[in-house]
Amino acid sequence: AVNYPFVEINGQQVMVRPDNTFAGEIELPKPGQNKIVVTGRDASGSTQQISIVVVKLITFPDIQTHWAKREIEFLATLGYVKGSNEAGLFLPDQTIQRSEMASLIVLAKSFPVGSYQQSSFRDIMENHWAINYIETGYKFGLLKGYPDHWFRPNSYLNRAEASAVIVRFSDIPLLAPDQPPALDVSVGHWAAKDIYTFQRNGLMPALWKGQNRFYPQVPISRAEFVAALARTPQMNRAIAQLINRNPEFEVIVDNYGQQKVVDQDSLAKQRDLLENRARDEKTYDQYSQQGHFVQAKVTPEEVRPGTSLFITAVGWRKLSQVIATVPNDEVVALKYNPETDRFEGYWKIPNIDHIYGNYTIKIKAIDTKQEVYRTESNKFAIVAIPEMMVPQEAELEEKSGVIEIPGSAGIVFVEYAAGGELDRTTISSIQKAPIKEAAPIKTNTVELNAVVTRAEFAEFLVDIAKIRKSSRIKFVANDIPINHPNAAAINACLVRGYMKLDDQKRFKPEDPVSRAFVSVALTRALKITVPNKLAQNPFADVSKSYWAAGQIYTVTKLGWMQPLAKNKFEPATNLNVSMLNDIKQRIKK
């Protein structure tokens, strides 16, 4: 502060040191843009001011090292996404429900959210928390449901559905693929045009780059959905406005969203960097290391020798060249991709043993003014165990007692295991167990009054929920051997929480099922939202405090089950075959 013994930062006076430097700490008052004005005043009273705009980003403790950190912070600061629990976490790798997607996408589109008492979808009750967002998105053509007017609000959004929603959000014309968009997406797939348009317009999250498969049925995570949304033209414009690329302002991104230490020296350096661009390479390195100018990302974070690592880099300034130095000191020139507005490239990892370990990629970027910036990528590991993801829609093929999964690279993913946990095992360790044909549910007129057992009801739930039964089971229950005729259906229901074991881990397959239990299992299997509290008793024999009152109210309101007598549901009555057939027909209608 030469010749300026008095300095103020946003009106707050700070001390000028004997060496003419000063420092001050200020609170950034709000998320988004905050203007900081530094005023120097000499002994005569004349003043000089410089100002910068600091962007305070909303952040979350669990995304600090996440690959989608910046996209999440941008959309959170813009007010489109929020934390997922009271602890203030974002839970980036948690799957996103369709109802949650509806609220996020409608808010991001800035549609006027109406107030609705009735839904266009059969499974959205008038008191559902997202009814206004779902109806608004549906009325504007942004959201669509399933056949027969189902929305499935509690179902997890999969990649195919997400691509369709993001493309509609972007107002991009659909492109017709002349060949399959991916190995697991045929030209005739219902979302083939959406997925192809999604890919061609650079909307895919960086984590998906370099994959030959699209995995359309795999649930999308919160981070992946936000990353795709951030790549749409509308969000690009909103983010550009947020970080204020107007050249009259200097932009400093506050990585932690809390506070920023401002001193005269750093302000002068920022002005030089952003206006005069006359600093040396060392100064640029210092700031680019903080992620202000260049960022780099590699995926996946675990790879094996002989496979490829995808490298991507982006800069806040227009870059002309990006060079990556990989662990064996090879140099990889990244190429600019106009669809993603990023520099991208691959490194084929040598197939040698001694390369195992943890690494980063060193990045050197040169802008259009021939100024140089350096940074490093996130950490990744080269491991001996191959990375694997089995698509949900891949069919299991049995040959000579060996299970093969397309694209599995020698590893089988066992979908159901003891306790409902997912387990991995090699093909050679899996033994083929003889599976008998499942016992059919009784349908002849003589047996229509026969009681439906828990085993038979499990088969019914698997059928109406349209879930796949595992052909390889390691454990079901203490009273269900793995070659039980209904073992696969029972296991599928247990893993998904439709039915449960008792304290001794017994299923009791021959026990009957009550009508109250059936109402609970139906809402679980079809993922129907159930009211927590009822204003009045749903039936004369079912109080509003009854343990299954909400489920009974829901299934009768949907027309799936009917009272057996006037204003009486008879919840303790066991289900018979005639009742089960009636329920099946009503659900289909």
pLDDT digits (tens, 9 = 90+) for 144-183: 988 778 899 999 999 999 999 999 999 888 999 988 998 8
404 forms bridges with which residues in the sheet?
Answer: 397
User: Are 522 and 558 a contacting pair, CB within 8 Å?
Assistant: no
User: Are 364 and 319 a contacting pair, CB within 8 Å?
Assistant: no
Confidence (pLDDT) at 427:
26
Here the tokens at position 97 are 């429900």
Confidence (pLDDT) at 549:
92
Query: d(Cα 324, Cα 418) in Å, to the nearest integer?
Result: 45
What is the Cα Rg of the chain in Å?
Answer: 30
Query: d(Cα 210, Cα 309) in Å, to the nearest integer?
Result: 8
Instruction: Decide if pLDDT at 119 tops 90.
Output: yes
Confidence (pLDDT) at 53:
82
Confidence (pLDDT) at 262:
38
The 10 Å CB-count burial string (b at 16+, else e) for 287-311 is bbeeebbbbbbbbbbebbbebebbb
User: Are 372 and 366 a contacting pair, CB within 8 Å?
Assistant: yes
For residue 346, give the nearest of 213, 214, 224, 211 by alpha carbon.
211
Query: d(Cα 336, Cα 320) in Å, to the nearest integer?
Result: 8
Confidence (pLDDT) at 229:
94
Confidence (pLDDT) at 103:
94
Instruction: Decide if pLDDT at 33 tops 90.
Output: no
Confidence (pLDDT) at 269:
46
Instruction: Decide if pLDDT at 75 tops 90.
Output: yes
Residues 76-94 have pLDDT tens digits of 999 988 887 667 899 998 9
Report pTM.
0.45
Residues 339-362 have pLDDT tens digits of 777 899 999 888 765 666 778 899
Here the tokens at position 383 are 């491991």
Residues 542-559 have pLDDT tens digits of 998 888 999 999 999 889
Q: What value does the mean pLDDT of the chain take?
A: 77
The 10 Å CB-count burial string (b at 16+, else e) for 477-487 is beebeeebbbb
Q: Look at 44-53, 246-255, 503-512 and tell me which has the smallest mean pLDDT.
A: 246-255
DSSP state of 275: I
Query: d(Cα 236, Cα 233) in Å, to the nearest integer?
Result: 5
Angle at 498 between CA 494 and CA 499, to 5 degrees: 60
In the block, tokens 């084929």 appear at: 348
Confidence (pLDDT) at 221:
92
Pairing verdict, β 397-399 and 6-9: unpaired
Residues 318-343 have pLDDT tens digits of 888 999 999 888 889 999 888 777 89
Q: Which domains does the chain have, with CATH numbers?
A: 1-92+221-276 (no CATH), 288-382 (2.60.40.1930), 445-588 (no CATH)
Q: Look at 189-193, 283-287, 317-321 and tell me which has the smallest mean pLDDT.
A: 283-287
Provide φ and ψ at 62, rounded to 5°: -95, 15
Instruction: Decide if pLDDT at 411 tops 60.
Output: no
Reported confidence tier of residue 284, pLDDT bands at 50, 70, 90: very low
In the block, tokens 């993603």 appear at: 340
Residues 41-65 have pLDDT tens digits of 777 777 788 888 888 889 999 999 8
